[in-house]
Structure 1
Amino acid sequence: MEAGRVAVRQMRRADAARVLEIYQAGLDTGQASFEVAAPSWAEFDAAKLEEPRLVAVDAAGGAVLGWAAGSRVSARPVYAGVVEHSLYVAPDAAGRGVGTVLLDAFVGAAERAGIWTLQAGVFPENAASLRLHRGAGFRTVGMRERIGRHHGRWRDVVLLERRSGAAGTG
């Protein structure tokens, strides 16, 4: 699949089953998150910001290939523009540019929504996600060593962030 065959649109309620299926497939790899089970749609919906909340779809058939959404890192007003995001691509769409198209669209939508910092926590073993984020302008802020136990072992997390060009200009 080429990037030109991928479209990005706002996530809809009708996408719920596919979004959660893709989420669970990512969790099943053991390299995507400390979570082991995708939440219910009600839990997902309550935890994610309304904007941006995107899906990548096959431009020809409309099948959902991946999704991206963000969560506030803090309820404090000073951090209103700081968001931790998640991005998952269906296993059968991996390695075909879907993640790049989706993350680029998410970054643009986040900036239009007034978000000045995007954060991501990535396991250091997840080389594909690290490459994807670095290619989109994320930088490594640090390593959170032995931050949590996952499948019976301590895991590190690389903390990445991308600052908007508008940050600090207003």
Structure 2
Amino acid sequence: MTYSHRLATREDLPAIVDIYNAAILEKASTCDLEPVSVASREAWFDDSRPDHRPIWVGYEADRPQTVTGYLTFDPFLNGRPGYDVTADVAVYLHPDHRSRGQGTYLLGEAVAHAPKLEVRTLATTIFAANEASLRLFSSHGFQEWGRLPGVADLGGGVIHDVVFVGRPVGDTAQ
């Protein structure tokens, strides 16, 4: 399957929320505990900027209006100005489009595009049990920068260690 991507539009927000809510219910890739609403994600969407903190949606190359995943370049840590050169990158895929190359495609595009956003470092946190995501990010040059044991408690006995990964991009890449 061939994937492509484009900037997300407000019309994509329901599909983005559906994909994210599927991840919440799986308890394998986010610390949100309850499904979110489109209304609750509008401010987050409005804070994205195509020139610095875009949200991309992935789609099958021949179906550009069908969102099959998304990638964000979110502010790092607290969003303080000194961290503007670093983006917290996140990839979420529709369950039917996992392990089909979409994550590899989106993350590869993000690494290549990050310098155009004035980003020098990409970083993210991944649950240690999420081996597929750890492999994905490792395959794009992300290295483990730290491990936080037992810091995520999703209830019902689901406790995760969190792995902090990152990589420089552009001229700062090694």
Question: Does TM-score exceed 0.5, indicating one fold?
Answer: yes
1:52–1:110: 8 Å Cα contact kept in structure 2?
Answer: no
* Partner residue of 1:72 out of 71, 75, 89: 75
**For this pair of structures, how many residues does the alignment match?**
165
Q: Which runs of 5+ in 2 are unaligned?
A: none
Q: Which runs of 5+ in 1 are unaligned?
A: none
Partner of 1:157: 162
Cα deviations by residue, 1:139-166 (Å, 9 ceiling, x for unpaired): 0001011223212443210000011132
Question: Which letter maps to 1:88?
Answer: Y
1:82–1:119: 8 Å Cα contact kept in structure 2?
Answer: yes
Shift of 1:167: 2.9
Matching of residues 6-155 of structure 1 within 5 Å: 6-36=3-33, 37-39=35-37, 40-46=40-46, 48-50=48-50, 51-62=53-64, 63-73=66-76, 74-153=78-157, 154-155=159-160
Alpha-carbon distance in 2 for matches of 1:135, 1:28: 27
Give % identity: 27
| CA RMSD after TM alignment | 1.9
Alpha-carbon distance in 1 for matches of 2:152, 2:168: 26
Q: Do the aligned partners of residues 83 and 31 (structure 1) sit closer, same or farther apart at CA in structure 2, a change above 3 Å counting?
A: same
Question: Which letter maps to 1:6?
Answer: Y
Shift of 1:109: 2.2
Name the SS of the counterpart of 1:32 in structure 2.
Answer: coil
Name the SS of the counterpart of 2:58 in structure 1.
Answer: strand
1:140–1:158: 8 Å Cα contact kept in structure 2?
Answer: yes
Shift of 1:78: 2.4
Question: Which letter maps to 2:36?
Answer: A
Question: Which letter maps to 2:69?
Answer: G
Q: How does the TM-score come out when normalised to structure 1? A: 0.88
Q: How does the TM-score come out when normalised to structure 2? A: 0.86
